[in-house]
Amino acid sequence: MNLSEYVEYDATGLASLVCRGEVTPLELTRLASKAHEEVNPRINAVIEIYEDAETVSGAEGGIFHGVPFLRKDIGAAEAGRLQEKGSRLFKGHRSNTDSYFFRRAREAGLRSLGRTTTSELGSTVMTESILNGITGNPWHLERSAGGSSGGAAAAVAAGITPIAHGNDGGGSVRIPASWCGLVGLNPSRGRVSGGPNRQDVGSGLSRDFVLCRTVRDMAAALDVFSGPHPGDPFIIVQPNRPYVDELSRPTGRLRVGVARTSWGAVNLDPEVLRAVEATATLLQEMGHTLIDIDPPYKPEWYSSLCIDPMRADVLDEAARAIGRSISAETLEPVNLKLYEFCRDLPSSRSSDSQEGLRRMRFHVGEAIHAFDILLTPTLPIVAVPHGGTYSATNSAVSAEEYMETDTAICQYTGVFNVTGQPSVSLPLAQSASGLPIGLQIVGRFGDEAMLVRVARDLEEARPWSHRRPKIQAGNS
């Protein structure tokens, strides 16, 4: 197999080749390394390929049978490996914990080869940091790959690996999926364990999963990573059958809530709105009932959730644990301002934040309860140029301005981290200039099975596998 052939396969396809003896896991590892050497100098998505990449565990067996995999540099950890969280504060830090997520990855045959870039502390929707630089979008190098899982998205889009780890606390899987033309699912709260030491990150706002190119890989990954562990605080209803089996089951007729209006301070780009309209028409042609929905929450409800002294307490504790101090030498300007802003809040604000979560879950839940699924834009705009508010060196923006900007751009994504519902960005459209446009499908809490079936229907009706970025291994 050569590199141009390697990039044509999704993870399921590569695993099938291994099972038939047409390629070996070692050959796939070497192809991934070759792809990295070819495209990574241009996109800056991978910050480390492990020296022992050719001998790491996860080389055979399982659903994925030796398929190359990459780990985002924050979130689920691998014991003994660097985990620097995109920050100078954690430079050189190695995790002493092996997450359940990566134990399951290895058991499924995924071979973790290295680390991908993230914004500092995973805190912004663009992937650039003082520690690791700017990650370029393989579709347009001057545009953002999104964040905070931008390195994972850029690596998959450019063909380094067909699937990669990401996590999502406000859109950090779905945003880069939208801007890089990928499938990005944020599962229900409690579907994927954060254990053994991250079971309750942000009151369940953040969840680990993957970025990939096909719905069947998404379904297979759900089968790999789903399931509770002892001590998990969120135990939800378990699926009736493997998620890959949902790929062959009927969808039925659904009530679909459609978001055609802005839910925040950033207006919908006309091209994004046209993509929503086209997808809504497609769903109607499939026999579903469509009903327009109004914004189910007020933007200030979401932005207020970021104002919590616990944010500063958690960072203080992490810094003390590694014997370092928080300053302008260890944190980027915006994150330092956010830290100082939250540090100076009265402790009573933590209870206010928890009440804000409860109120938002209740009001949004009531507003959308009548629908089987929702169709929304993933983002109100297409991929933006690097820099601006989210520049790693921007010292002009205040903590309040940053939170308002973040709320505006994450207007369709962060709300479902709060409610805990599963939501997936699908690469169903493109702008006139060729930039990917993701559309978001939101399911009922715990009903990833329905999302798998709807996503399959849309992938079959509007295939995206023929769309390829300008920068891709084997042809760039």
Q: Which residues are catalytic?
A: 72, 148, 172
Show the tokens assigned to 140.
Answer: 């347009």
- Closest C-alpha among 459, 476, 41 to residue 213: 459
Give yes or no for a contact between 136 and 154, defined as CB atoms under 8 angstroms apart.
Answer: yes
Give yes or no for a contact between 305 and 360, defined as CB atoms under 8 angstroms apart.
Answer: yes
CA distance 97 to 417: 25
Tokens 């690469």, residue? 427
Facing residues of 430 across strands?
436
Show the tokens assigned to 369.
Answer: 């309860």
Number of other residues whose CB lies within 10 A of the CB of residue 313 = 14
CA distance 2 to 474: 8
- Closest C-alpha among 53, 66, 174 to residue 114: 53
What one-character DSSP code corresponds to residue 91? T
Give yes or no for a contact between 210 and 163, defined as CB atoms under 8 angstroms apart.
Answer: yes
Facing residues of 290 across strands?
256
Give yes or no for a contact between 292 and 260, defined as CB atoms under 8 angstroms apart.
Answer: yes
What one-character DSSP code corresponds to residue 142? E
Compute the C-alpha angle 466/468/469, nearest 5°. Answer: 165
Give yes or no for a contact between 347 and 144, defined as CB atoms under 8 angstroms apart.
Answer: no
Pairing mode, strands 136-137 and 289-292:
unpaired
Angle at which helices 348-368 and 309-321 cross, to 10°: 120
